[in-house]
Structure 1
Amino acid sequence: MRASEVRQKFFDFFKSKGHVIVASAPMVVKNDPSLMFTNAGMNQFKDIFLGNREPEFLKVADSQKCLRVSGKHNDLEEVGHDTYHHTMFEMLGNWSFGDYFKNEAIDWAWEFLTGELRIDKDRLYATVFEGDEKDEVDRDNEAAERWKNYLPDDHIINGNKKDNFWEMGDVGPCGPCSEIHIDLRSDDEIAQTPGSELVNKDHPEVIEIWNLVFIQYNRKADGKLTSLPQKHVDTGMGFERLCRVLQKKKSNYDTDVFQPIIQQIASLTDVKYGASDDSDIAMRVIADHIRTIAFSITDGQLPSNNKAGYVIRRILRRAVRYAYTFLEVRKPFLSGLLPALIETMGDAYPELKAQKGLIDKVIHEEEESFLKTLATGIALLDKIIDETLQKNYTVVDGKVAFELYDTFGFPLDLTELILSEKDLVVNRKEFETEMEAQKARARNAASVETGDWVVLKDDNEEEFVGYDFCETEVFITRYRKVKVKKKEQYQLVFNITPFYAESGGQVGDSGYIKSGDEKVNIIDTKKENDLIIHIAQKLPENLESRFNAVVDADKRRRAANNHTATHLLHRALRKVLGDHVEQKGSLVHPDYLRFDFSHYQKVTPEEIRQVERLVNADIRSNTEVEEHREVPLEKAREMGALALFGEKYGDVVRTIRFGASVELCGGTHVKATGEIGFFRIIGEGSVSAGIRRIEGVTADKAEELVYSQGDLLEELATLVKSKGQLRKSIENVINQNSQLSKELDGMMQNYMKIEKQSIIDCARDVNGVSVITRMVKPELGSNLKDLAFQLRNEVGDDMVAVLGAEVKGKPQLAIILSDQLANEEKLNATELVRAIAKEIQGGGGGQPFFASAGGKNVEGLQKAIDMASELIEEKLA
């Protein structure tokens, strides 16, 4: 059975059981500070389990794109080395939100596996939670009794808390789960060792395929469990594993989910799959990682050096490194795998086809860049190897290996592989210490301690009224205390709110709430899933009061100007550059706007001016907003509304139209474009491969920009004494400066020639070697290295020079030897410079024939030179 048929059979089966089939949420998570990526099928339903949102349907099913590469759920290191772990994978799931519970979930799972898919019943096992005394939770006898309808007792296995009690996190909804495992071994192997002894023992052929989670508790911040008012079902079945079972393969990678990609890798690299263990692992890693990278880009997450983008960049580089090391790939090739990926998954996920051009461009440029990094890293590593061997060491400093990894992106395992060829190893303990220190810094920078919600009033009808009002009466329904970087804050939820929560690129509102004489500032407003959270630095004294909630109207007005301007800018860019332009991100701040879009080359100054003119023409037209708050998604698309890839839209959406500009948008906007006043672009540049960024200002800030530019022109005219011909006057100044620079360079060369001869004349003979030790005048300090090499060329075959100079207030030393002297190994420039650098409170290094050092103590320069003179005379004696 082909993979596409398996997915459809799952949908058809649960549709017949009254489930609504819903789309996969984006793999990249937004509006949830606890997650970067969707790592389980339940993520998009988290707010329903938390009680923050009412479900649209009580029974749903889906196939969810998931990514597990960080935190508690991290399968990265196993990927490719075993048969069933992946970074990106599909999770087939069926869900009940307060509708059916354990009996139906178990019945339907059994019916689907054994009835629809005809999987051998004798090979199936079920685990049930054995209970936990600490949590005061008994064995899940309800699930166990239901399984007895289908399985013999020896196929129903007790599972511990680690395997059979599912938790969303440290706090929140949780409950026992019942896993379904399958034994794929031969009949002879099963006869020798029962499958019940291998369940949850990491056996490659006795694997979990489906997890039925029964959400019935809530974990409080103090660790206690309380029963939920409604019980839910959350199931997740590994799609890739299921395909392996049905296609009777030994590995997920042998199914038609991965084989077209693996065969494409084999074709592009001219390495046959099955040729060796190393190349097979590399192909599996690459086949897995190309899926992760491509889907991340379609969901709006580009490789970068920050947070989720950094994770994607690491995965891409890991794929490149495996290709480089084990398949001997030396040029970009990953984007050549996209046709095979689209062939296998493009029908189920059409975003792959729609964004092929962007994915191709991003991957190609990232891969090309990292291949250069690998070359640089190998050159640096060669230097480290030489220095280590010269000292007769066999262990490379772990700090040095970590610097290669952290600064240059050079993987540790590749470092170790190259070192092993020279019989060297890395000090792993030092490397791990550095790695842990970096992780600790990251944890401290982002540490947030969250307490339990204190519920004051039950109110599930929380509503945003800020489109119509900047001020309204509210009451607090719940609050909690949080610590952000050890600073205490409070998060408040109101029954209704005029405060816009940060989303869609627009920053959150600020303002205050007031009751009587008491006023509490709201410093920011954010979304956590569907909950609007108001952040305050203190709690009101009387939490039961009714408050007047007031938004900072000026900040809101300026943000609305910039948000509407991004819509007009988007349309103008498409008109000037072409319909391939799509929004890839934005930041709407009260002071400025930032707009990221797909485009493959620099936007020219002429195009920027054309875009500005179109936006300002739209502003002058004073077009009124046409807003529709509850439009069916399909109707909105028929209206021409632009939907963004990577966004999760509901069945009903809000559309914003300004003339020909129509977009799906939840942000705040002006009532008519004339309110924006004026628009200027202040910057254009590249964000990453295939993505450009424009920054702009509107209204007050645009006016300030025009004034400041005018003032600057006036100041420049005064400085160059221009009488109406500013350009010509500045050109004259530049030409004069260029001429003076040439003359100064000539004078400096003559000066250096005189000083160089003076230095040569001071050379003394020590056992046939010309020895120069000299403090160089500060004005020649910046040319110290050049001067040293000129002396080397002119003094003769046996020479050594030690030069010192003060450069911008800092001491500098340079030591140079003739080749003949360096080859005789009587002297070593690196050893000398390290010995004397302590006198200037510094350090240095180099090669046997030339080395340099810098430091902090200028007063120690002459002492360092004198010390070098003594050491040289001792060595030559």
Structure 2
Amino acid sequence: MKSQDVRKQFLDFFESKGHLIVPSAPIVLKDDPTLMFNNSGMAQFKEYFLGNATPKSNRIADTQKCLRVSGKHNDLEDVGFDTYHHTMFEMLGNWSFGDYFKEEALPWAWEFLTEVLKLDKDRLYVSVFEGNEAENVPFDQEAFDIWKQFVPEDRIILGNKKDNFWEMGDQGPCGPCSEIHIDLRTDEERAAVSGRSLVNADHPQVVEIWNNVFMEFNRKADGSLEKLPAQHVDTGMGFERLCMAMQNTTSNYDTDVFTPLIEKVEEITGLKYTSNEVKDISEEQNKTNIAIRVIVDHVRAVAFAIADGQLPSNTGAGYVIRRILRRAIRYGFTFLNTKEPFIFKLVAVLADQMGEFFPEIKKQQGLVTNVIREEETSFLRTLDQGLQLLDNVIATNQGKEVPGAKAFELYDTFGFPIDLTALILRERGFSLDEAGFDKAMQEQKSRSRAASEVSTDDWKILVEGNTETFVGYDQTESDAKITRIRKVDSKKDGVMYQIVLDTTPFYPEGGGQVGDKGVLVSANETIQIIDTKKENNLILHFTKKLPENVNGGFVAKVDSKLRSDTTKNHSATHLMHQALRSILGTHVEQKGSLVSPNHLRFDFSHFAKVTDEELQQVEDFVNARIQEQLPLIERRDIPFAQAVEEGAMALFGEKYGDHVRAIKFGESMELCGGIHVKNTGEIWYFKIVSEGAVAAGIRRIEAITGDPVKVFFASQESALNEIKLALKNPQDVIKAVVSVQEENAKLKKQVEQLIKDKAKGLKTELAQQIQEINGIQFLAVQVDLNPEGAKDLAYDLGSLGTNMFLVLATAEEGKPMLSCYISKELVADKKLNAGQVVRELGKYIQGGGGGQPFFATAGGKNADGIQEALNKAVDFVK
């Protein structure tokens, strides 16, 4: 059975059981601060399990894109080395929100596997929770009794808390689970060793395929458990493992989920991948297999993350995506001998393979391809640079073991993979101090963990029920009562409180718009609200101090000035999006935004620099809409399909409900939950202040509106007046500036020529001062030149022989600089290294630097240390 059919059979089966089929949520999470990525099927339904929202149906089924590469669930380092772990995978799930429970979920699971898919019952094992006396959770007798109707007792395994008790996190809904495992070994292997003994033993052919979680409890902050008011079912079945069982293979990578990608890698590299059925392969072939598995797994994770709006970057989720891609590039570079970008060519295969069920990968195929190609090109350059740096480390290392701290510096600063460092060192006859590297890595993790450590108390419920109402679209002030309070203590922000109100005008951060600030006023006091965010469908108001009487009545007041400035920027963002699509083309799509009171930032897909002329056209377009004073046409709670059909733009990577809010100004119409001006005339004026690239195929525009524009114009006028004054009030300012530039260029050429002439004279003079020490021509002296002139002089003097060791110091405008030149012959024969020399001598001028083994420079702060540095230079040749 093909993988597409497996997916369809599952969804059709649960649709026949009264389940609503819903699409996969984006792989990148936007409104859950506890998770970076969707790492399980239930992540998109957390708000239902927590009771903060009502599901559209009490029975739901789906297949969810998941990514496990960070935090508690991290499979990254296992990928490639075995045949069943993945970074990105699909989780087939059926869900009950307070509806059916164990007596339906377990028989349905058995029915689907054995009657619909017709898997061999003799190969299946099930597990149930054995209980935990310490937490007062009993043995799951009910699940055990249900399974006895279908499975012999010797195939029912009792599992401990680690294997058979599922938790959302340190706090929150949890409960016992019942897993289904399949034994895919040969008949001979099964006869020799019982599959029961291999369940949960990490055997590659005895694997878990389905987990039925029964959410019965809530884990509190103190670790205790309390019964949930309603019981839920959360199941997850590994799609790739199920395909392995259905296609009679012993490896996920031998199924048609991966074989089209593997065949493309084979075509590109000319290397062959061997099936898991082939035994006794060579070590070289094993390395090839691992590399190909890594690449075809990782391209799926990276491609879907980019399609859902997460671009590779140097921070947060973007850094994780970049790290995954770089791991794939490195495996190709080292083991498949791919020195040119090639992974981007797999995107077309992936889009053809999965585009029907996940349309985002087809829609975003061009962007994904270009981003991956640019990232590959960039990192391959980094690998080259890293190899040069590693050469320097090897050249200056004392002994045959390279310190772990040095390797960590390459890894941390330049993104140079540690396994590649270790491989190259072994090839060169060196070893790596792995313990030192691990220590440096652990220290960094400890610093990061300490900086972000957060402890969260349980919610203190003041008003029972889900009664929260948002009124911020219509007002900035409302009467309110506090319904719940939670204390949060973090190393970064200290003690803070999160307050939930029954009625709030405060807009929570979302869709690029920052959260509102303001106050909570009672008869006796005023509490500052310093931020507003949304978490699992709750609007959280952040404050440093709780009211004295939390049960009293309050007036919630948004800071109207900040709100007004923010709405101007938000509405201008919509108009700018329309302008960019009109002027640059409909390929332009929003890829990120920030809307704050002070400015707006907008990231969008476009593969060329936006010209000055195009930027002016965008400005003119937006300002024309402002002058037209277009009224806001807002439509709330309309069906998603209807809004899109009427022309509303939906953003990829955003999660929309069945009913949405549409914002329209003239011809601009977008789905948006943010706050906007009532009329575009309120924006006053729109001014672009910068444009540039942020990633491959992604441009960024920053702009301002309203009062900041007035400040900008005033500062421009002030700067112009200062320029006029400096130029003695010329009639034509531009002509006067051009004249000064031309004169400056002429004088600069004259100065450069004078410096060259001076250096030539110095060459003759200094050649007489060179002394021979241990067969090396040595000179260390301060010269009255700029650093560039000193470099030219060093190379000129170096040309006088093949055994030169020169250190020239300069102090232009009091800034000390050391330049070291060493003949290449000395670098090779004497193991001298200019980079090491300047790093040591740079200490005397309170600075440092580096460069190549034959020429390097160091800058510093202390010109008084120049002479001591020159005096110490001779130690390198003595």
Shorter-chain TM-score: which interval? Answer: over 0.9
Q: Which moved more, 1:3-12 or 1:810-819?
A: 810-819
Work out the CA distance in 2 between the residues paired with 1:425 and 1:439.
Answer: 24
Report the secondary structure of 1:696's partner residue: strand
Work out the CA distance in 2 between the residues paired with 1:595 and 1:26.
Answer: 20
CA contact (8 A) 2:513 2:596 kept: yes
CA contact (8 A) 1:782 1:807 kept: no
Offset of residue 159 of structure 1: 0.5
Q: Deviations over 1:117-157 (max 9, x none)?
A: 11111111111111112211111111111111111111111
Distance 1:56 1:749, change over 3 A: same
Offset of residue 44 of structure 1: 0.7
Equivalent residue, structure 2, for 1:144: 144
Work out the CA distance in 2 between the residues paired with 1:824 and 1:236.
Answer: 64
1:122 maps to 2:122: yes
Offset of residue 836 of structure 1: 6.5
Equivalent residue, structure 2, for 1:113: 113
CA contact (8 A) 2:810 2:816 kept: yes
Report the secondary structure of 2:566's partner residue: helix
Q: Deviations over 1:762-814 (max 9, x none)?
A: 4567799865453434x4566434333323335x6776555444455455445
Offset of residue 160 of structure 1: 0.9
Q: Which moved more, 1:558-567 or 1:429-438?
A: 429-438
Q: Deviations over 1:519-557 (max 9, x none)?
A: 100000001121100000100000000101000011111
CA contact (8 A) 2:575 2:625 kept: yes
Work out the CA distance in 2 between the residues paired with 1:597 and 1:361.
Answer: 14
Offset of residue 327 of structure 1: 1.2
Q: Deviations over 1:633-671 (max 9, x none)?
A: 111011100000011111010111111111100000111
Work out the CA distance in 2 between the residues paired with 1:235 and 1:244.
Answer: 19
- What is the aligned counterpart of 2:309 among 285, 288, 300? 300
Offset of residue 727 of structure 1: 1.1
CA contact (8 A) 1:296 1:312 kept: yes
1:353 maps to 2:359: no
Equivalent residue, structure 2, for 1:514: 521
Residue-pair matches, total: 868
CA contact (8 A) 2:755 2:789 kept: no
Work out the CA distance in 2 between the residues paired with 1:652 and 1:543.
Answer: 34
Distance 1:182 1:450, change over 3 A: same
- What is the aligned counterpart of 2:461 among 455, 470, 473? 455
Opposite residue 73 of structure 2, the aligned amino acid is H
Equivalent residue, structure 1, for 2:601: 594
Offset of residue 68 of structure 1: 0.4
Report the secondary structure of 2:135's partner residue: coil
Equivalent residue, structure 1, for 2:331: 322
Equivalent residue, structure 1, for 2:631: 624
Report the secondary structure of 1:648's partner residue: coil
Work out the CA distance in 2 between the residues paired with 1:870 and 1:406.
Answer: 33
Report the secondary structure of 1:657's partner residue: strand
Equivalent residue, structure 2, for 1:688: 695
CA contact (8 A) 1:482 1:488 kept: yes
Opposite residue 140 of structure 1, the aligned amino acid is D
Distance 1:767 1:652, change over 3 A: closer
Work out the CA distance in 2 between the residues paired with 1:831 and 1:337.
Answer: 43
Q: Deviations over 1:344-366 (max 9, x none)?
A: 21111111111111111111111
Distance 1:602 1:539, change over 3 A: same
Equivalent residue, structure 1, for 2:277: none
Offset of residue 245 of structure 1: 0.4
Work out the CA distance in 1 between the residues paired with 2:529 and 2:826.
Answer: 73
Equivalent residue, structure 1, for 2:351: 342
Report the secondary structure of 1:230's partner residue: strand
Work out the CA distance in 2 between the residues paired with 1:827 and 1:204.
Answer: 52
Distance 1:828 1:63, change over 3 A: closer
Offset of residue 229 of structure 1: 0.7
Opposite residue 167 of structure 1, the aligned amino acid is E
Report the secondary structure of 1:203's partner residue: coil
Offset of residue 56 of structure 1: 2.0
Normalised by the size of structure 2, how large is the TM-score?
Answer: 0.95
- What is the aligned counterpart of 2:472 among 466, 476, 481? 466
1:435 maps to 2:441: yes
CA contact (8 A) 2:815 2:863 kept: yes
Work out the CA distance in 2 between the residues paired with 1:368 and 1:589.
Answer: 35
CA contact (8 A) 1:756 1:787 kept: yes
Offset of residue 609 of structure 1: 0.9
CA contact (8 A) 2:392 2:853 kept: no
Distance 1:427 1:809, change over 3 A: farther
Equivalent residue, structure 2, for 1:31: 31
CA contact (8 A) 1:459 1:495 kept: no
Work out the CA distance in 1 between the residues paired with 2:831 and 2:534.
Answer: 70
1:668 maps to 2:684: no
Equivalent residue, structure 2, for 1:89: 89
Q: Which moved more, 1:835-844 or 1:7-16?
A: 835-844
Equivalent residue, structure 1, for 2:569: 562
Equivalent residue, structure 1, for 2:403: 397
Q: Which moved more, 1:680-689 or 1:542-551?
A: 680-689
Distance 1:762 1:138, change over 3 A: same
Equivalent residue, structure 1, for 2:42: 42
1:532 maps to 2:539: yes
CA contact (8 A) 2:395 2:831 kept: no
Q: Deviations over 1:562-601 (max 9, x none)?
A: 1111111111111111111111111111111111111111
Distance 1:731 1:113, change over 3 A: same
Work out the CA distance in 2 between the residues paired with 1:768 and 1:209.
Answer: 73
Structure 1 unaligned regions, length at least 5: none
Q: Name the Cα RMSD after superposition.
A: 2.4
Equivalent residue, structure 1, for 2:278: none
Work out the CA distance in 1 between the residues paired with 2:585 and 2:23.
Answer: 30
CA contact (8 A) 2:760 2:793 kept: no
Equivalent residue, structure 2, for 1:232: 232
CA contact (8 A) 2:396 2:833 kept: no
Q: Deviations over 1:361-405 (max 9, x none)?
A: 1111111111111111122222323333xx4x2211111111211
Equivalent residue, structure 2, for 1:55: 55
Report the secondary structure of 2:629's partner residue: coil
Work out the CA distance in 2 between the residues paired with 1:126 and 1:769.
Answer: 78
Equivalent residue, structure 1, for 2:867: 862
CA contact (8 A) 1:256 1:344 kept: no
Distance 1:334 1:800, change over 3 A: closer
Equivalent residue, structure 2, for 1:174: 174
CA contact (8 A) 2:481 2:551 kept: yes
Equivalent residue, structure 1, for 2:430: 424
Opposite residue 496 of structure 1, the aligned amino acid is T
Q: Deviations over 1:240-283 (max 9, x none)?
A: 11011011111111111111111111111111222821111111
Distance 1:616 1:160, change over 3 A: same
Opposite residue 757 of structure 2, the aligned amino acid is N
Report the secondary structure of 1:134's partner residue: helix
Q: Which moved more, 1:419-428 or 1:145-154?
A: 419-428
Opposite residue 200 of structure 1, the aligned amino acid is N
- What is the aligned counterpart of 1:493 among 500, 504, 515? 500
CA contact (8 A) 1:842 1:856 kept: yes
Work out the CA distance in 2 between the residues paired with 1:89 and 1:829.
Answer: 50
Distance 1:617 1:117, change over 3 A: same
Work out the CA distance in 1 between the residues paired with 2:823 and 2:188.
Answer: 76
Distance 1:493 1:762, change over 3 A: same
Opposite residue 124 of structure 1, the aligned amino acid is L
Work out the CA distance in 1 between the residues paired with 2:99 and 2:832.
Answer: 85
Offset of residue 847 of structure 1: 7.6
Offset of residue 513 of structure 1: 0.5
Distance 1:837 1:595, change over 3 A: closer
- What is the aligned counterpart of 2:797 among 791, 805, 813? 791
Distance 1:291 1:768, change over 3 A: closer
Percent identity between the two aligned chains:
55
Work out the CA distance in 2 between the residues paired with 1:769 and 1:373.
Answer: 35
Q: Deviations over 1:282-304 (max 9, x none)?
A: 11111111111111111110111
Report the secondary structure of 1:217's partner residue: strand
